[in-house]
Chains A and B, each alone.
Chain A
C-alpha cells in the first residue's frame, strides 16, 4: 500500500495506533472519538484494514498489552509511522491551501 491509497478509516486506524498500541475494540472507540462520532467503523472493515496493513508492514502485532479475551494489540512499525507522517504532511499542506482559497473567495 502506498500513501496515495490511504482512506479515511485507514488514516483513523493509523492515527489511533500512532499514540500507543491498541487492540481492535479500542481502535474502534478511538476512531469514533477522533472523528467526533462521524466514523463508526464496523468490525469487518477494521479487520480488513488491519489485515492489509499487517501484510504491507505498516503495523505489527504487539504482545505487551492485555491479551485476555482474544485482545490482540497492534502497533505502528517504523515504515507505518514514516508513511503516516508523509500523509499528515500532505493533509496539512492541503488544509493550508484550502484555508487560503476559501479566505480569498470570501473577501
Chain B
C-alpha cells in the first residue's frame, strides 16, 4: 500500500515533495499500522480516503500557481462558515468552460474543413445584402430577442436561479408559529 501512496506522492510538484514527502510517508505508514487492526471495510474506507486525499492534494498544489488561489481553501469541502448569497456559482464556471471549449473546437474544425477544400480558381463574387422591409426587419429582431430571452431563462432555470425556483423556496413569515 505504501508503494501506491509513494506513487501518488510523485504526482505532487517537486518543491512540495522535497518539503513534505518524507513526513507524509511517515504519517501514511502510521495510518497503515493503525489500519492493520481494523475491519476489512474500515481498511477499504481508510485507504480510499487517503488515496483520494493525495490525488486531490496533488491536483490542488499543481493548480495553485495557475489559478492564483494561493490562499484559498480550494480542497476543503466542509466550510465552517455559511456560503455567501453572492458567490459565483460553480455551475456557471463549468458552463462557461464548456462553451469556451465548444467554441475552440468549432474554430479548429472550421480551419480543418477550410484546409481540406481544394483551392478555387473562380473568384467568389461579393455577397449582396438582402433587402428587408421595415416590418420584416422588426419581426426578425423580435424573434431573435425572444429566442435569446428563452435561452437565457433556460440557463437560469438549469442553474436553479429562476424566479419560480426562488419563490418556491420562500416560506411565509410566521408559518411555523401558526402551526404550533
Contacts and interface: CB of A to CB of B under 8 A. Distances in A.
Interface residues of A, number: 35
A47 B61 CA distance: 11
A92 interface: no
A33 to B, nearest CB: 14
Given A9-B78, A44-B53, A44-B56, A52 B71 contact: yes
A42 B55 CA distance: 11
Given A8-B78, A105-B176, A70 B57 contact: no
B20 A9 contact: no
A47 B80 contact: no
Contacts, number: 92
Interface residues of B, number: 35
Interface in A59-88: 69-72
Contacts of A1: 71
B70 A45 contact: no
B27 interface: yes
B57 A45 contact: yes
B8 to A, nearest CB: 8
B69 to A, nearest CB: 10
A44 B81 contact: no
B141 interface: no
A30 B138 CA distance: 70
A30 B99 CA distance: 45
A46 interface: yes
Nearest to A68: B26
B124 to A, nearest CB: 58
B57 A44 contact: yes
B57 A47 contact: yes
5 tightest Cβ-Cβ pairs between the two chains A and B? A42-B53, A44-B53, A44-B57, A70-B26, A7-B76
Given A25-B26, A70-B25, 12 more contacts: A1-B71, A6-B80, A7-B76, A8-B76, A9-B76, A42-B54, A44-B54, A44-B58, A45-B56, A45-B76, A51-B16, A71-B26
